[in-house]
Amino acid sequence: MPILVMKFGGTSVATPDRIRRAAKRVGVEVAKGYDVIVIVSAMAGETNKLVGYVNETSPLYDAREYDAIVSSGENVTAGLMALTLQEMDVPARSWQGWQVPVKTNSAHASARIEEIPTGNITAKFGEGMRVAVVAGFQGVSPEGRITTLGRGGSDTTAVAFAAAFGAERCDIYTDVDGVYTTDPRIASKARKLDRIAFEEMLELASLGAKVLQTRSVELAMRYKVKLRVLSSFEEQSDEAGTLVCDEEEVMENRPVSGIAYSRDEAKMTLVSVADRPGIAAAIFGPLAEAGVNVDMIIQNIAEAGRTDMTFSCPVDQVKRAEKALNDAKAAGHINFHDLIADTDVAKISAVGIGMRSQSGVAAKMFRTLSDEGINIKVIATSEIKISVLIDRKYMELAVQALHDAFELEKAG
Amino acid sequence: MPILVMKFGGTSVATPDRIRRAAKRVGVEVAKGYDVIVIVSAMAGETNKLVGYVNETSPLYDAREYDAIVSSGENVTAGLMALTLQEMDVPARSWQGWQVPVKTNSAHASARIEEIPTGNITAKFGEGMRVAVVAGFQGVSPEGRITTLGRGGSDTTAVAFAAAFGAERCDIYTDVDGVYTTDPRIASKARKLDRIAFEEMLELASLGAKVLQTRSVELAMRYKVKLRVLSSFEEQSDEAGTLVCDEEEVMENRPVSGIAYSRDEAKMTLVSVADRPGIAAAIFGPLAEAGVNVDMIIQNIAEAGRTDMTFSCPVDQVKRAEKALNDAKAAGHINFHDLIADTDVAKISAVGIGMRSQSGVAAKMFRTLSDEGINIKVIATSEIKISVLIDRKYMELAVQALHDAFELEKAG
């Protein structure tokens, strides 16, 4: 029988009642003839509670124990989901990560799945079982210890199972009904996309759209897993939600598919840096060591052997960045006149695979912002993305104006 | 290094603070030179919460899923205890049942431990680890599924580890400071016993003293594991608590060691049963099938081919017993004139290995109750126990009077 993977996030399994609702969705797919692999998260709030215990116990915790502790929430949901399906007369059983086994590397707290042997579950499907409920987010290391895949890791579990079992599709049930052209809380005209390309979803995920874990999208792209994002709180048809798929399957033909934003950015400028070969490494090496996530980088044209270097990072890393740079200056590794932090900026990004073939997207974006009187502080581009830093107070206005300018409210 | 097993119950690990307190106790034993195996229960309330979820989901649950769900609480405590010990610079790690592995049979929800291979943990002790923290209550079946040992099963885990590793002692830390001559809430003169024989503890445990799981005492007796019950809420010396040990090691020499009681008993009488060979089987077979836990049984002298049959059972099983017996009568398997249930009785038991060698214990017990005007309804005796059923309203009085009569407030 064809296999379908269905993943339910924390809010979709927050109570026994909600688990029942999710199980009914599973039952619908079983009735259609699918053998289903269900991946479950912990009940909403459980993982945070466990992480809280760990932090209270040991601020610099042993990640192996952290994993053993925080993985337990998913085990509870998996068992409850299996029981609920059994109550509905759907033959089901639960699997914990080590029972499959979901083999990962030993990078505790952010492990990578290396192999999912399909034998155990396939054998049970052969015996008449219709649903395998698997605890998401967890695996087992070569040393036989429990690992976890990082926050949101159940998405990755789901995609990895879909790839391993050659599933027809991987449905991610969540608390939103799909991927939107932008955040509906900011732009009321935001429209749900029927389809979005893997590459676009990847950019949106890494830009902070919380719909899918970035790594799950990478994995889906690599193994060509058809990924669907849809709401567990609405009646669903086969066309519901947003399908994340290959570029070729995206019907719409528009330069921009979505507008993303990131509120808490900071722009830092090293004024009048002595310009010499290796200066970038001398600046960004210490920042990386200090754990500063540098995003956009701009180097102005050098004059008389000196240059200005600007970069952006999350606003809560500014103190750390300042310390790292001042330490490097004190140690004589770099030389600059001043270090200026602008902590009132936001990042706005336009994302779309259509940019590759359509010119004028950047120009249109800059003109739109200019028409609204919004000054652009930093620009960075990739093949399918244009990002700008602007004053934070214009963030909502910029998102709305760009959404209008690219007519995202209209289906392509 | 000698090995010590320390078990902490749910109230002793109810919060990260209490886990810290328990970890300090472990640290004291490590400092003395012991390699320690710590067995932990779930944080108080967790297992009940999980059992509640199961019952809400599926009243007639699949015990395999029940076990997968309810075992998760212990995993959390084991990890937190390991982290806490690491914070105290005590080399420690956690083990879940399947990681040891604790091999059990497949009797889910009340599994029996069959084997505990010591290799994995012994190897880590050899590498300098000082404390192995093991999640209690759980194991793994031959089919690779998680099993649990029944409520209170962590006691049994602790004793089984002590037996497997040849531990010098097994300390059970709980919310009482030892085993008492009777319930201090009923008899203020109740005295903590320094030592008690395995056989006595076994009788007390099966009579409802909630200090230790019955099976853990059986196991300790069989493998000669020195078992100590003590409080995790008091400063402890080596002499604290109560040592459960071989008869020969019990110094006290008295006929009775403790008075136990069970409040919610019922006495049922089948009046004028047709007496014939096999009649007891015809009565008690259907009761067993109906899940009625029959305790005491008395058959009166038969007259003219008919007899009265009396038995006791927990009061909440009376309805089930009545149905089973009336069904058996309707089916023609047994014949009786009347079925009388007395649901206002309590059971009082005097327990002591000294009874074997000292006569007159029963006579003294009956006389004491008679002096208080308490009528005895049923009597049952074993080698080291005398139990009587009396009206429930006299229960406290009977316990106090017997405690006085056998002078249990005085050390032997």
Taking contacts as CB-CB distances below 8 angstroms, the residues of chain A near B50 are 76
**Contact flag A87-B56 (C-beta cutoff 8 Å):** no
pLDDT attached to residue A59: 84
Q: Could you tell me how far CA B130 lies from the centroid of its own chain?
A: 30
Among B215, B248, B281, where does a domain finish? B248
Q: What is the pLDDT of residues B352-378, one digit of tens each?
A: 988 888 888 999 999 999 999 999 998
Any idea what the CATH number is for the domain that residue A279 is in? 3.30.2130.10
Going across the sheet that includes B169-174, the strands are B92-95, B131-135, B35-40, B3-8, B169-174, B227-231, B242-245, B195-197
For residues A358 and A337, membership in a common domain is answered with yes
Rounded distance between C-alpha atoms, residue B204 and residue B201, angstroms: 5
Pick from B118, B125, B155: nearest CA to B9 = B155
pLDDT digits (tens, 9 = 90+) for B132-159: 999 999 999 999 999 999 878 999 999 9
Q: How many CB atoms lie within 10 A of CB B88?
A: 14
Which pTM value belongs to this model? 0.83
Strand ranges of the sheet holding A227-231, from the earlier edge strand across to the other edge: A92-95, A131-135, A35-40, A3-8, A169-174, A227-231, A242-245, A195-197
Residue A57 and residue B94: Cβ atoms within 8 Å?
no
Residue of chain A nearest B18, judged by CA positions:
A57
Instruction: Please tell me which residue of chain A has the smallest CA distance to B70.
Output: A76
Residues of chain B in contact with residue A53, where contact means CB-CB under 8 angstroms, are: 16, 76, 80
pLDDT at B144: 97
Is residue B253 one of the residues assigned to a domain?
no
Residue A412: inside a domain = no
Shortest alpha-carbon distance between residue B262 and chain A (Å)? 35
Task: Let me know whether A168 and A57 are in one domain.
Answer: yes
Using the structure block, give the residue that is written with the tokens 């995003």. Answer: A295
- Asked whether the beta carbons of residue B68 and residue A84 sit closer than 8 angstroms, the reply is no
- Number of domains, chain A: 2
Is residue B8 part of an annotated ligand binding site? yes
Alpha-carbon distance values, A86 to A92, A133, A270, B222, B364 (Å): 6, 11, 63, 40, 58
Q: Cβ separation of A93 and B65 shorter than 8 Å?
A: yes
Whether B201 is covered by a domain: the verdict is: yes
Same domain, A360 and A212: no
A69/B80 touch (CB, cutoff 8 Å), yes or no: yes
The reply, when asked if residue B7 is annotated as ligand binding, is yes
Interface of A with B (CB under 8 A): 16, 19-20, 50, 53-54, 56-58, 61-62, 64-66, 68-69, 71-73, 75-76, 78-80, 82-84, 86-87, 93-94, 96, 98-99, 144-146
Q: Is residue B286 part of a domain?
A: yes
The CA distance from B247 to the nearest CA of chain A, in Å, is 42
Is B74 known as a binding-site position?
Answer: yes
Q: Is residue A410 part of a domain?
A: no
Structural domain containing residue A57: 3-250
* C-alpha of A396 from chain center: 22
Same domain, A122 and A38: yes
* Residues 6+ positions from B80 with CB-CB distance below 8 Å: A53, A54, A57, A65, A69, B13, B16, B19
Average pLDDT along chain A: 92
CA distances from A186 to A182, A196, A261 (A): 8, 20, 10
Which among A20, A53, A68 has CB closest to B75?
A68
> Is B194 found in the same domain as B69?
yes
Chain A closest CA to B12's CA: distance in Å?
16
Inspect the interface and report whether the beta carbons of A68 and B87 lie closer than 8 Å. no
Residue B411 lies in a domain: no
On the question of pLDDT at A153 being above 80, the answer is yes
Query: Cα(B351)–Cα(A217) distance, rounded to whole angstroms?
Result: 68
A105/A219 same-domain check: yes
- Are A207 and A324 part of one and the same domain? no
> Of A250, A276, A300, which residue sits at a domain end?
A250
* CB A145, CB A67: distance < 8 Å: yes
Are the Cβ atoms of A80 and B99 closer than 8 angstroms?
no
Residue B206 near residue B184 (C-beta atoms within 8 A): no
CB spacing of B80 vs A96 below 8 angstroms: no
Q: Say yes or no for a CB contact (<8 Å) between B65 and A82.
A: yes
The Cα of B316 is separated from the nearest Cα of chain A by a number of Å equal to 27
d(CA B177, CA B183): 12
Nearest to B16 among A57, A66, A94 (CB): A57
Sign of CA dihedral A276, A278, A284, A290: negative
Same domain, A31 and A101: yes
Question: Which residue in A58, A82, A146 is closest to B83 by CB distance?
Answer: A58
B84 contact residues in A (CB cutoff 8 A): 57-58
**Is there a binding annotation on residue A210?**
yes
Question: Which domain CATH number covers A40?
Answer: 3.40.1160.10
Taking the CA of residue A346 and the nearest CA in chain B, the distance in Å comes to 39
pLDDT of residue A238: 67
Q: Is A19 left (phi over 0), alpha (psi -120 to 50) or beta?
A: alpha
Q: How many Cβ atoms sit within 10 Å of the Cβ of residue A160?
A: 30
Residues of B with a Cβ under 8 Å from any A Cβ are: 16, 19-20, 50, 53-54, 56-58, 61-62, 64-66, 68-69, 71-73, 75-76, 78-80, 82-84, 86-87, 93-94, 96, 98-99, 144-146
The C-alpha atoms of residue B304 and residue A378 are separated, in whole angstroms, by 108
Residue-by-residue DSSP string for B47-105: HHHHHHHHHHH-TT--HHHHHHHHTHHHHHHHHHHHHHHHHTT--EEEE-GGGTT-EE-
The overall longest dimension of chain A from CA atoms, in Å, is 79
**Cα→Cα distances A125→A16, A102, A119, A165, Å:** 25, 18, 10, 12
Secondary structure of residue B8 in the 3-state scheme: strand
Structure tokens at A63: 């990640």
Are residue B302 and residue B204 in the same domain, yes or no? no
Average pLDDT over residues A97-123: 96
| Rounded Cα–Cα distance for residues A396 and B111 (Å) | 60
Smallest Cα distance from A72 to chain B, Å: 6
Q: Which residue has the tokens 């969705």?
A: A25
Q: What is the mean predicted confidence (pLDDT) over A303-320? A: 89
In B, minimum Cα distance to A70 occurs at B76
Interface test with B, best of A15, A57, A140 (most B CBs within 10 A): A57
Strands B297-299 and B258-274: unpaired
Using 50, 70 and 90 to split pLDDT, how confident is the model at A359? confident
Low-confidence stretches of chain B (pLDDT < 50) are none
Among B70, B29, B1, smallest CA distance to B173 is for B29
Question: Chains A, B: CB contacts under 8 A, how many?
Answer: 107
Do B277 and B228 have their domain in common?
no
Q: Is B26 helix (H, G, I), strand (E, B) or coil?
A: helix
Instruction: Please list the helix, strand and coil fractions of chain B in percent, rounded to the nearest 5, in that order.
Output: 40, 25, 35
Contacts of A82 in chain B (CB under 8 A): 62, 65, 68
Q: Is residue A411 part of a domain?
A: no
* Residue of B29, B27, B22 lying closest to B8 (CA atoms): B22
pLDDT digits (tens, 9 = 90+) for A58-93: 988 999 999 999 999 999 999 999 999 999 999 999
Q: Are residues B236 and B284 in the same domain?
A: no
* Cα distance between residue A153 and residue A132, in whole Å: 18
Asked which of A187, A219, A250 is the last residue of a domain, the reply is: A250
Q: Which one of A16, A66, A94 has the shortest CB-CB distance to B65?
A: A94
**Are residues B108 and B237 located together in one domain of the fold?**
yes
* Amino acid letter, A254: R
Q: Is residue B410 one of the residues assigned to a domain?
A: no
Contact A64 B93 (CB under 8 A): yes
